[in-house]
Amino acid sequence: MDTLTVECLRCGAVRTARYNVWHHVESAECPRCGYVGWAHSAELTEIQRKALRERPLQVRRIRTVA
């Protein structure tokens, strides 16, 4: 099964995620902080990481572009 490296958008913990049978990435909660928001590590810049972590959780919204 294919895997990719994902990063927690709250604490920055890096973990490996797997694709399920429908080719969607399994997105379990972060083992370090329990947050469920994550992004593909290779797609985040340092500027984006900093901006996400400085923004309060209550107002975070990330829009993806297909």
What's residue 9's pLDDT? 83
Please give the residue that has the higher pLDDT: either 7 or 26: 7
| DSSP-assigned beta bridge partners for residue 4 | 17
Identity of the amino acid at 12: G
Residue range 8-66, pLDDT digits in tens? 888 888 888 877 666 666 767 888 888 888 888 888 888 888 887 777 766 666 555 55
What's residue 22's pLDDT? 64
Q: What is the pTM of this model?
A: 0.62
HEC sequence for 5-26:
EEEECCCCCEEEEEECCCCCEC
